[in-house]
Structure 1
């Protein structure tokens, strides 16, 4: 009997945390009902609200996420990870525990006959000068080594302060500054030689067509919002791309 599984599914920006149980439940439901029927699942950043280091993987909530991902892998699904701005400290120990493959910031995948550029999207928000400076600092190996050498509790306290400052800072920024810059997107298309892109980060789900290119933006997940937010993108074996809401319905 031929394998009817979809070629790949893509999600991002779930911001999983123990204090948001409905999002966690929606994620588990997606894994059990959707992801296990795919050939591959791509996690395109900010799966977690924050990640303080792989030594936090033993925390019970994180163990539940790891176990859920391993069950998907055990069903024959290949799992891939691209770091987001909240969980860029995920490393090899977490990847081994969850059974997933870490990918570079920009990855080109061959799926259903398409060459697709995959990324989180924060590096393309180049008009947000303050964020780009912060990003350049925290992505340096020396900064990360120094940070990860701190006790876990201290790291979590620092991250909490960063998150609070980020919330205050965002209130003073225009929507345009916090969105991806058209030139930065054009550069990714040119560098990768692709004409299809999937990313997250901006929380502005949409399909953008510019010339021959198609750029799909993933939604963030918040089942308790009105209306509920969330969903995924799928590519089937023929290269057809579809956007889905939390219930699985196709989004126009």
Structure 2
């Protein structure tokens, strides 16, 4: 049986041709043989709007269009770097946009999938920004600005984010266990798949009276991290770039 694949946190950009090359290889090999591909956010280092039609963005969109045209369904959940991806991008690529939390049927098991940034509730500064940026007015304001200005805003945001991560403890930047318990209980699942923290691992823990599992996808800064799931196995593997 064909596997279902999950990826996140590729942070694609023109500045990292090695990541783009790994992405191209993945899309033309593993992804072609998948039953479905789920992209759980931060596909791009920064996405400033569907109207940014630079050559690099067109290249990435064509890779997705080729894959979906081949019959592989692709599902996408927004991350904190690409939450401005909209219906135009979806239409041009053939991907299906999902809400920030989605329960899927994975070979007969209910599984919750999400980007994972909303789980990091101890990072109060980021959570305040997240609340503002996901509101109804902030995206509209940003998309009304000229592209050149949005690029400058994105550059400044990346610098601010890097400084914030450098000055924050690992505990603050990781998920809050009680929030993980809450969202999984609310969704009625015992398995969660997410990205965002860049700490690939398969965690097993007790959730109420059940055994639970939380799978964290890896980023693509130094490896192409892919979760491969079949009815018989679950494999989280990173291939060095």
Could you report, residue by residue, the CA deviation over 1:143-189 in whole angstroms, capped at 9, with x for unpaired residues?
A: 11111100011011011111111111222100000001001100111
Counterpart residue number, 2:168: 173
- For the pair 1:99 / 2:94, whether they are aligned, the reply is yes
Counterpart residue number, 1:245: 238
- For the pair 1:37 / 2:37, whether they are aligned, the reply is no
Aligned-partner Cα distance in 2 for 1:36–1:245:
18
Kindly state the Cα deviation for residue 239 of structure 1 after the two structures are TM-superposed: 5.5
Partner secondary structure for residue 45 of structure 2: coil
Unaligned runs of 5+ in 1: 224-228, 248-252
Partner secondary structure for residue 55 of structure 1: coil
Aligned-partner Cα distance in 1 for 2:237–2:159:
31
Could you report, residue by residue, the CA deviation over 1:7-49 in whole angstroms, capped at 9, with x for unpaired residues?
A: x100000000011001001011111110110111000000000
Kindly state the Cα deviation for residue 118 of structure 1 after the two structures are TM-superposed: 0.3
Residue number among 62, 69, 77 corresponding to 2:57 in the alignment: 62
Q: Would you identify which runs of 4 or more consecutive aligned residues in structure 1 move more than 3 Å? A: none
Distance 1:241 1:142, change over 3 A: same
Counterpart residue number, 1:24: 20
Counterpart residue number, 1:230: 224
Aligned-partner Cα distance in 2 for 1:112–1:146:
41
Alignment of 1:18-167 (within 5 A): 18-56=14-52, 58-167=53-162
Partner secondary structure for residue 41 of structure 2: coil
TM-score (norm 1): 0.91
TM-score (norm 2): 0.95
Unaligned runs of 5+ in 2: none
